[in-house]
Amino acid sequence: MRVTVLTGAGISTESGIPDYRGPNGMWRRDPDHEKLVTYDYYMADPEIRRRSWLMRRDNPAWEAEPNAAHRALAALPDAWIVTQNVDGLHQRAGSPPERVLELHGNMFGALCTACGARSTTREAIDRIDAGESDPACHECGGVVKTATVMFGQSLDPVVLTRAVEAAEECEVFLAVGSSLRVQPAASLVEVAVRAGARLVVVNAEPTPYDHLADEVIHDPIGAAVPRLCSSLT
């Protein structure tokens, strides 16, 4: 069975990483959070960058472990994992890296927005811990950011094209732990359904695509996804 899975922050909450729009989501608790991940605000305001680096340093994802849902998806033979998450937990659960498409990049790489010089987020955080508030590029002094796709930036076209193909080619499309409110990621659901795939949505709250689903599961993902995967193999 050809399975493609689109995952969102909801698959990692049971690993201790808060989501954005859920009941305990970061955006519910700190409406300002959106500015920290919006490119124009980030580039324009050193105070936004200072707060952004503290948020990155304190991200629970550094200590998080994959949970039963990540592991169940990793055990699905030849599945494509299209994730909006930047925490790397799918790969750590055993999903082959070449079959994990990180639509929004990941939190571990860093790059200079001016010259493109690559570094690591860990290096930048070490500079924060040593007292810098907005570590500039060693090469050119430019603004440094993590290798995640911020609001206002476009996705990597190669990754997005592969994700669209994975949605078109599958027989079953699972949408797991996403409010499906952010494009173009959410539109992959429609691509899959139009191509004839069976759609299962696993999410605690309703999504704008539930009307297209053959099945909607509201149970906690950590229990629902292993059950679902065992029915697919």
Cα-based angle 213, 192, 158 (whole degrees, multiple of 5): 140
Determine the interface stretch with ligand APR among 9-17, 89-97, 115-123, 163-171 (rule: CB under 6 A). 9-17
Q: What angle, rounded to 10 degrees, do the helices at 46-57 and 121-129 form?
A: 100
Separation of alpha carbons 51 and 56, rounded Å = 9
Q: Does 20 bind ligand APR (CB under 6 A)?
A: yes
Determine the interface stretch with ligand APR among 90-98, 127-135, 189-197, 202-210 (rule: CB under 6 A). 202-210
Return the residue of 167, 221, 228, 229 that touches ligand APR, per CB under 6 A.
221
Return the residue of 15, 100, 178, 209 that touches ligand APR, per CB under 6 A.
178
Closest-CA residue to 230 (of 31, 105, 52, 68): 68
Q: Does 104 bind ligand APR (CB under 6 A)?
A: yes
**Closest chain position to ligand APR (CB):** 10
Say how many C-beta atoms besides its own lie within 10 A of residue 57's C-beta. Answer: 15
HSE on the CB side for 4, CA within 13 Å?
26
Q: Could you list the active site residues?
A: 104
Contact positions vs ligand APR (CB under 6 A): 8-10, 13-14, 19-22, 25, 84, 104, 177-179, 181-182, 203-205, 220-221
